[in-house]
Amino acid sequence: MARKKAEGMYTGYLGIYRRKRTLPMMISHHFSETTVTPGVDVNLQCVVNSPHPARFVWERDGVVILSNTDSRYSITQTMTTDGVSTQLNISHVRVDDGGRFACVAHLGESTVFHEDRVNVYGPPYIRTLPPFKVQSGQSVTLRCPYYGYPIREITWEYKGKEIIPETTQTRYKRFINDTANIEIFGRKPKLRSKRDATVTNGVLSVNRVSKSDNGLFACIVRSPSGEMAKRSFDLQVVEAPQLEEILLAPDLQEGQIVQIHCNLKIVSETWRPVLEVAGGGVLSLSNGSLIFDSVALSDAGIYTCHVENGVGEALSKTIWISVNKPVTFDIVSRNLTAKLGQHVTIECQAKGDDPIRIMWTRNGKPINPLTQRLKISEAKSDDGMTSLLELIQSETGDAALYQCKAGNPFGADVYSVYLSILEPPSPPTDLTVDSVTSRSVKLSWRDMTRSLTQYYSVQVTNSDRLMWSTARTINVTRLGDNQHSVDITGLQPATRYAARTAAGRSSDISAYCAPVRFTTSEEAPSSPPLNIQVSQTTSPGELRVKWLPPPADTLHGVILGYRVKAVPQEDTGIQETSDKIIKTTALYSKQETVISGLLKGVRYSVSIAAFNSAGNGPFSIPLFQDTREGAPEEGPTSVECGGVTSSALRVSWQPIPVHRQAGSLVGYSVLFAAQGRPWQNATSIVTEMRLQGLHKFTNYTVKVAGYSNYGIGPFSFPIVCSTLQDVPDAPSEIKLLVSSANSLLVSWKPPRPNGRLLHYTVYSKLTASNDGPQIHRVDIESNIDAYEQTQSLELKGLVEGRQYDVWVSASTAVGEGPESRRVSNAPSQRVVAGVWSLGGRVSVRVHSALPLACRSVGSPPPRTVWYHNHNIITHHPRFTRNKDDSLLIKSIDQSLSGNYTCLAKNLYGSDSVVYSVRVLPLPDPPSLRATPYKDSIVVEWDEIKISNESGFGVSYNLTWREEDGPWQEAWPTTRLPNSQQQLPGVQQHALTGLKCGTKYSIRVTATDSVGTSAPAHVDVTTLGGAPVSPLSTDWLWSNATHIYIQLSGWDDGGCDVTKWDVDYRALGTSFWHRADNLAVHTNSPHPQTLDPNLGWGYNYARLPTSYALGSLTPGTWYQVRVTAYNDAGTAATVYTYATKTEDG
């Protein structure tokens, strides 16, 4: 066996020879030479340090030890802390197990190894080696694969003669065995001494072998006992192949037959050259010949001839083959026909290698490139050259044979063109439009010439763009007569067209005649609007609808407006379909409208259709959307109220009808208030509730409203009911004075009655007595002065000097109330001055009169003095002293508020009563705000803070009037406050049913227990303005006898138009005629559309959305004056418009 080394040396494996490399791994531990006796076990180990686990192979004398080599051999590999470890274990070693062992570690392409001998005692023996070949000039290293031990010497023979060591110039050398440490010399064989050969440790090295080194080499091993082993092998030296230069012509021409030879110098071996070819269609022979049957341009490229002998390195020769192409034409001739006056271009495409020269001839004569109307140009192409011969505005004489002659150094060729010039026929005359519909037109023309016309070409195109290059062309076969016509269908409605015609024959066509223009009639749109969006608005009962116009190719006319239809999808019990006509504001932009007046909280299906002068288009697929829930639209009915206790009322009512609930009803709000007091609110989810914690025996006004998540609805009509009576409270104050030696005078203030007071009960008894009290009944006096709040009773027949206890209680129909506190006093002959009138806090409204009582007792009768804030009241125009010592204050104001004291005094003492007087002012005018809408105004004002302590609330009065009109009340002065508050501390009222765009004046006053404030005033104008007329005539269209006006083109200014007037006159005349609207049969009890092409009808007594002026003259200009009226004003505009001619 032989292995090739990188340096070109051949190694014969009589032993193992390896060249070490610098590797990223190393053997850190390895076995060493071992000598053993047969029968023992041998263990060989190597450890390798490497970045990755290595793969191990064990060899003996260059032969790999496999797992099936011998059952006594076992190989293991483990990971240790030092690296990767491998072990070779040999059980019961034998003599033939000896030899040179190597552990080889492989990591990728890297290899490290360690080798050493294992000697087994026994006779010598040499393993068999096969012959191998080596190329001359290379070096050979031979190792003797022997086993047995001990060994005395290893010698080598060549062709039976021993190889002995020489000097350094000697070709063969043999070295002693290192183990035996014996040097043995032999005789020099008959070899060329100029070559070096060495023998080291049984290894024979021969440098630069040659053919003369062929033959048998023998290895001889001897033991000390004289035993010998000898083995021969055959070394065959072969010569390296050599290639001669490849002979090749410098340039090949396309189509040639070429042979190329790859020649070898004669060697002693059989060689087979291999040829690699760039391209296909080429024959490569085993003798080194390359044959091209027909050279092609694709055969150009690099070619390499490879030669190898199986021993040394392969040889190769590379050549470049280039191929030249002569001038050729793919087509050598053709016929070309051109029309008279046409620009003619003749193209000549010559293919071949540069340089190419081209020349043009006409009828065999060279063409002068400077000739007028003629132009010659040339341009290089990828595969040759292109020449263009151009004839500008060809003439009849240009018909000829044109030849393009081209050539290069490798060949020439000719391209011929036969040019014919054709003259066109004359165009038709008198092209006219006979009739027009929405999708067709009839055209007619005359052809008075006698030319050979075979057909007519009719072109129709959109006249707005007038692009004849994209026009529709219809060919009409010529008939025998001079008049010709054609019906053209498939046109688009409401489109301007232009048409023209030309006469033609098989070879040419005439110029087109002057075009005629016409416009097709309109059709109703064929598609619904696009991108429809339906959404809720912020207001209940409204839907916002947005859409885009139908596709432009389906409009079939000018879109005048849209019809929006909303149909409820729930069983509401009433029919609430909304059908709204919307005028267009911009023909091709996004449209939008708000449908109002719908049911609240109800699902609607919404669909839209576009319309033009020809009628309505199809409705869109319905979209479904719920209206926003709103506040209920009416209040509960059959409200009943009654007292159940002295502090509770029971209120019940009937529910709001479902179709008036405006969505999901959450519950009911019950407002209740005692007279003159603020409203209180209670809620219930059922139709009955109990109001508790009320004032006893008090009238309450009650009203009920439903509410939803959106808000509260209208309240029911208020009703009044009362809580039941109860026993009264105890009298609030009591006083006991001596009136004589045997009588006492008791006075008290009335208690809170909690019902209708019937009488008082006065109890008296001796303080020291255990007997029951004496009872005195005091009936309620009906004629007591209003200002006299003190009740009194004189107890007579008492014992002088004895102390008495006195107390008082009050009674109603329910029973007797609690007792007052007890007061004590004793009758005496000395009657000290005393005031039995009871004072306290008194509130009085400004500018009113206030009497203050000062009732007294005493003997002698006391004298009384009045004080105002510690100042004695004398003569004053605002004060009057009455005979009963009372004080009357007239027209009281804030300056007279304060403490009033009445002092009574006699010989035995004095007493007084004090009144704390507070003067209550009138309420301030409310702070007023107004928000205008189209037909309503929402008025808001801040609530007035209550300035008195009477507990009475504030009511308001709102009056309004149209500018220069009479004042009207929004509710009566005696009406209770507005039914609900939108915000805390804010009152609100809506004035509805007002005129649009009109100025109104509004006044609000506040009234409390003191009086009525000055009015708050505001002027406000409802939203909207006078109508706005369109500036263009886009909203007018006509036929021969009528002019139609689409009134939806007028902007109503935000206020509904209440009246239309249309007047007309012929242009240039002075008298205006009032027009009757012929769009409606006014004599019919059920008016319907007069012209079915209009596509919509009108309800009787409703304002029209279209006007039709009839009995007009065809093809005549008119002035049309349209006047629109609404609440905010009028708009009158004059338009100039014409009827169409009878042919459209």
Cα–Cα distance for residue pair 723/754, rounded to 1 Å: 10
**Quick one: pLDDT at residue 827?**
94
More confident residue, 736 or 259: 736
Length of the chain counted residue by residue: 1144
- 336-355: pLDDT as tens digits: 888 778 889 999 998 888 88
More confident residue, 154 or 307: 154
pLDDT-wise least confident of 93-97, 156-160, 801-805: 156-160
Structure letter (DSSP) for residue 1092: G
Residue 812 confidence (pLDDT) above 80:
yes
One DSSP character per residue, 648-711 reads EEEEEEEPPPGGGS-S-EEEEEEEEEETTS--EEEEESSSEEEE-SPPTT-EEEEEEEEEESS-
More confident residue, 969 or 3: 969
Residue 1069's region, left for phi above 0, alpha for psi from -120 to 50, else beta, is beta
Unique residue bearing structure tokens 């990767």: 84
- First vs last C-alpha separation in the chain: 111
Other C-beta atoms within 10 Å of 1115: how many?
Answer: 12
Of 1028, 1000, 1029, the closest CA to residue 936 belongs to 1000
- 254-274: pLDDT as tens digits: 777 777 777 766 444 444 444
Report residue 109 as tokens: 């392409």
More confident residue, 315 or 842: 842
Model confidence band, residue 282 (pLDDT cutoffs 50, 70, 90): low
Enumerate domains of the chain plus CATH numbers: 26-164+195-238 (2.60.40.10), 252-263+272-324 (no CATH), 333-422 (2.60.40.10), 429-519 (2.60.40.10), 533-571+579-627 (2.60.40.10), 637-722 (2.60.40.10), 727-829 (2.60.40.10), 831-918 (2.60.40.10), 928-1021 (2.60.40.10)
More confident residue, 466 or 884: 884
**Quick one: pLDDT at residue 165?**
56
**Quick one: pLDDT at residue 766?**
92
- 603-635: pLDDT as tens digits: 899 999 998 878 889 999 999 999 888 888 888
8 A C-beta contact, residue 562 and residue 608: yes
**Percent of the chain beyond pLDDT 90?**
33
Task: Using DSSP bridges, classify how beta strands 879-881 and 856-859 pair: parallel, antiparallel or unpaired.
Answer: unpaired
Structure letter (DSSP) for residue 840: E
Report residue 610 as tokens: 């576009």
One DSSP character per residue, 76-102 reads EEEEETTEEEEEEEESS--GGG-EEEE
**Quick one: pLDDT at residue 450?**
60
8 A C-beta contact, residue 215 and residue 159: yes
8 A C-beta contact, residue 83 and residue 50: yes
**Quick one: pLDDT at residue 568?**
87
Model confidence band, residue 573 (pLDDT cutoffs 50, 70, 90): low
Q: Radius of gyration over alpha carbons of the chain, in Å?
A: 67
Using the Cα atoms of residue 366, residue 370, residue 374 and residue 378 in order, give the sign of their dihedral. Answer: positive
Residue 304 confidence (pLDDT) above 50:
yes
Exposure of 954 by Cβ count < 10 A (0-12 exposed, 13-18 middle, 19+ buried)? buried
Residue 408 confidence (pLDDT) above 70:
yes
- 910-953: pLDDT as tens digits: 999 999 999 988 888 988 999 998 888 999 888 877 655 554 66
Cα–Cα distance for residue pair 292/285, rounded to 1 Å: 12
SS3 1089: strand
**Quick one: pLDDT at residue 1092?**
33
SS (H, E, C) 796-829: CCCCCCCCEEEEEEEECCCCECCCCCCEEECCCC
- 80-132: pLDDT as tens digits: 877 889 999 999 999 999 999 999 999 888 899 999 999 999 999 998 877 77
pLDDT, mean over the chain:
81
SS3 396: helix
Report residue 708 as tokens: 């939803």
